Amino acid sequence: MAKFFTKEHEWVEIEGDQATIGISGHAAHELGDITFVELPQMGKSVKQFDTLAGIESVKAASDIYAPISGRVVQVNDKLEDAPELVNESAEADGWICKLEGGDPAELGSLMDAAAYAEYLKGL
């Protein structure tokens, strides 16, 4: 399954009934060195575009919004001691968490990779 992106630079990738969430490589680069990831509570339920997690870099603290609704079933606890993984691999090993129970129809309000690349050009 392909990745879909939000205007706030989160990505989501759905495999089976799980949605993996992260921030885009562009966002990680813009944030600079990432020093802390506030992982969501396991079991937490969020609606699409609700605040899901937090991220801090040497420059700023930002929220991470849920690109899709769902319940948190897994968090990437490697980020607790190595948040720099997000800089190194924002769209793979640096994933933030996995959600279940979302509605894939919500992907319709997101951008695919090509549309997101276009969107970045316009920023």
Residue 84 in the binding site for other proteins (CB under 8 A): yes
Q: Confirm or reject binding of residue 36 to other proteins (CB under 8 A).
A: yes
* Cα 6 to Cα 88: distance, rounded to the nearest angstrom: 20
Query: What is the nearest approach in angstroms of other proteins to the Cβ of residue 96?
Result: 15
CB hemisphere CA count around 123 (13 angstroms): 12
Does 32 interact with other proteins (rule: CB under 8 A)? yes
Residue recorded with tokens 């009934």: 17
94 contacts other proteins (rule: CB under 8 A): no
Q: What is the DSSP letter of 33?
A: S
102 contacts other proteins (rule: CB under 8 A) = no
Look up residue 93 and give its amino acid. D
Note whether 83 binds other proteins by CB under 8 A: yes
Residues binding other proteins (CB under 8 A) = 32-33, 35-36, 38, 54, 56, 58-59, 61, 83-84
